[in-house]
Each structure stands twice: as structure tokens, then as C-alpha cells.
């Protein structure tokens, strides 16, 4: 078991999140760090960038680099199945309704994508713990912000649920002191289940807020639209106590490209990545771009120190 650092690449569509994730992953893997690159964007690009087939399970790209492209539909199904099984186990009296009918409708309910993404994120961390670094190529901005907001929002929900549940138990005890033994056990089970959710969301929230373990890289281009979207990302993340690790101004052509941006994001470390004259596709092209110093590699020594074996 190691203590992996999580590098996220966020930003507007087309700015270079996938390319930057690939370059950062490759640079760190070439330094000998074990890297797992995970594409959480349902519209995957990593297989095309590395010119190698990828799937929902880690595949080797180079000796120290493995990559996964998550199958969002599969994770949504898994999430729904988990909820379905849990209702069957804990709330048996509900099975007299036609649960399956509700689940067909639930498949289209808002919010499912981010729950599926969080489930995939947690399962991949649990299942493949032996990495120094995990790099996440993120989905479009709206979904990514929901992903980071999910622990905070869910904690509000489950804390209310817990209060509600305690209220119900109290009232039921007032109405009748004659408790059926198995009913009491059932009640405890639900309170315990809510307790587990609180623990899990608290752990996630602490992970996202921890600047040592969560490095948020905001990718943007020197244009008005990506700048405006980046400003919104920074504000929304700040509202849930998540800070930026680095701003990557990608596809720059002249030094004046970044002047306005430096003024805009005062305080956050900013690095530039030049527009490449050749396509950044395939290992050879990525390696020569890195060798030419085109990409600011993340601090490999710091990542190595952090990944001290547990």
C-alpha cells in the first residue's frame, strides 16, 4: 500500500486536459514513479493519445504507467444495482411496491452521473492502491464541479436523514414501548448505514480539501471563453474549500498571451505550455515534447516523498 497523490486536470472542453494528463503521467512515469492515469471523462481520449487500446481495467502503457478509461454506463448500472440491493436488504417492506419500475425511471434522474463517477473513483482507489500517483483526466466542467461538490452536498443530505431517522425512532418509542426485537435491529441497521455514508463522504471531502494529496491543475487557453469558464471553476471550488495547485496556460504562442491571465489569477502558480507544431499523439511525440521542455512536469521528488509506503 502506498499513499498516492491525486492529480486532477480540469478545464473547458478542448483546452488540453487529456493531453496535459497524458504528458504529466508520462513525465512522472519516466522518473520511475508508478502512475495510474484514469480518464473520468465519458468521451475518452487517452487511447487515441497513446495509440493503444484501453478499457475499464488498468493496461500498461509504459513500464511505470498504466491507464484506465472508465465505462460510465457500467458504473451507473453498478451504482443503481447497489442502491437496489440495499433497499431489498434494509427496507424489506418496500419490496411490496414494484421497485424495478422505479429503477427504470431512476436511470434517467439527474445526479446519477456524478454518483457513478464518485463510485468509480472510490472503487479504483480501493482496487489499485499500489501507485505513487493517480492522474485524473476529468469530464467537462459542469460534471467535474458536481463531482467535487458531491461529498459536501451529500453530507448535508445524510445528516438530515440521520436527524429524521432519530426522530422517527424517538416517536415510535413514545407511541409504543412494546418494541419488537427485530424492528429495533432494523432501526439500528439504518442508523449504522447512514453513519457509514457520513464517514465515507467526510473522508472524501477531507481528501479533496487536502492540498498535499489533491493537486488541482486548471488547464486553459489564452482566449476569453476558457478564461471566463476558468474563473467560474476557481470560484466554485473555493466555495467548497478546494484550492488550485497550478494553472496551465496551454497552447500559448507569444508571451503576451499570458499577461492578462497572470493578472487575473494572482497568487496561483501559473505555467505555460507552448502550442506544439506537430500533433501530440503517440509516445514518441509526447516524449519529444517533454524532452524539448515544453511541459512543466509535476514535482516528482515531492510526489515520491509523499508516497511513503504505509
Ligand X SMILES: Nc1ncnc2c1ncn2[C@@H]1O[C@H](COP(=O)(O)OP(=O)(O)O)[C@@H](O)[C@H]1O
CB-nearer residue toward Mg ion: 45 or 297: 45
CB-nearer residue toward ligand X: 34 or 113: 113
| Count, residues in the chain | 310
Q: Report 33-92 residues binding Mg ion (CB under 5 A).
A: 45
CB-nearer residue toward ligand X: 18 or 217: 18
143 binds Mg ion (CB under 5 A): no
CB-nearer residue toward ligand X: 190 or 285: 285
CB-nearer residue toward ligand X: 5 or 18: 18
18 binds Mg ion (CB under 5 A): yes
Q: Beta 59-62 vs 65-69: how paired, if at all?
A: antiparallel
Determine the Cα–Cα distance for residues 178 and 201; give it in Å rounded to an integer: 36
- Least distance in angstroms from the C-beta of 45 to Mg ion: 4
Residue 14 interacts, among Mg ion, ligand X, none and using kind-specific CB cut-offs from 5 to 8 Å, with ligand X
Cα torsion 33, 36, 37, 42 to 10°: value is -170
Q: Which residues bind ligand X (CB under 6 A)?
A: 11, 13-19, 45, 250-251, 273, 275-276, 279-280
- Least distance in angstroms from the C-beta of 301 to Mg ion: 28
- Least distance in angstroms from the C-beta of 273 to ligand X: 5
Determine the Cα–Cα distance for residues 297 and 303; give it in Å rounded to an integer: 11
131 binds Mg ion (CB under 5 A): no
Residue 16 interacts, among ligand X, Mg ion, none and using kind-specific CB cut-offs from 5 to 8 Å, with ligand X
- Least distance in angstroms from the C-beta of 282 to ligand X: 11
Given the rule CB under 5 A, which residues bind Mg ion?
17-18, 45
Amino acid at each position: 500500500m502506498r499513499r498516492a497523490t491525486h492529480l486532477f486536470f480540469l478545464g473547458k472542453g478542448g483546452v488540453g486536459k487529456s493531453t496535459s494528463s497524458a504528458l504529466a503521467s508520462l513525465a512522472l512515469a519516466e522518473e520511475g514513479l508508478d502512475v495510474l492515469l484514469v480518464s473520468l471523462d465519458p468521451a475518452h481520449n487517452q487511447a487515441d493519445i497513446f495509440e493503444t487500446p484501453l478499457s475499464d481495467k488498468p493496461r500498461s502503457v509504459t513500464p511505470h504507467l498504466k491507464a484506465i478509461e472508465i465505462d460510465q454506463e457500467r458504473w451507473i448500472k453498478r451504482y443503481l444495482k447497489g442502491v437496489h440491493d440495499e433497499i431489498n436488504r434494509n427496507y424489506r417492506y418496500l419490496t411490496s411496491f414494484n421497485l424495478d419500475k422505479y429503477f427504470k425511471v431512476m436511470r434517467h434522474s439527474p445526479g446519477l452521473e456524478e454518483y457513478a463517477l464518485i463510485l468509480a473513483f472510490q472503487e479504483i482507489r480501493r482496487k489499485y492502491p499500489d501507485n505513487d500517483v493517480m492522474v485524473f483526466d476529468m469530464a467537462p466542467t459542469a460534471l467535474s464541479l458536481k463531482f467535487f461538490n458531491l461529498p459536501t452536498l451529500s453530507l448535508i443530505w445524510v445528516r438530515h436523514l440521520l436527524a429524521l431517522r432519530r426522530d422517527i425512532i424517538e416517536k415510535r418509542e413514545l407511541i409504543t414501548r412494546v418494541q419488537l426485537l427485530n424492528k429495533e435491529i432494523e432501526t439500528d441497521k439504518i442508523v449504522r448505514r447512514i453513519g457509514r455514508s457520513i464517514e465515507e463522504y467526510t473522508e472524501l471531502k477531507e481528501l479533496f480539501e487536502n492540498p498535499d494529496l489533491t493537486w488541482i491543475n486548471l488547464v486553459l487557453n489564452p482566449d476569453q471563453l476558457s478564461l471566463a469558464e476558468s474563473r467560474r471553476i476557481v470560484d466554485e471550488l473555493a466555495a467548497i474549500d478546494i484550492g488550485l495547485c497550478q494553472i496551465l496556460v496551454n497552447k500559448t504562442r507569444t508571451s503576451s498571451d499570458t499577461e492578462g491571465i497572470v493578472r487575473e489569477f494572482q497568487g496561483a502558480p501559473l505555467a505555460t505550455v507552448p502550442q506544439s507544431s506537430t500533433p501530440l499523439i503517440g509516445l514518441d511525440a509526447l516524449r519529444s515534447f517533454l524532452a524539448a521542455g515544453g511541459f512543466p512536469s509535476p514535482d516528482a521528488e515531492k510526489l515520491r516523498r509523499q508516497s511513503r509506503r504505509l
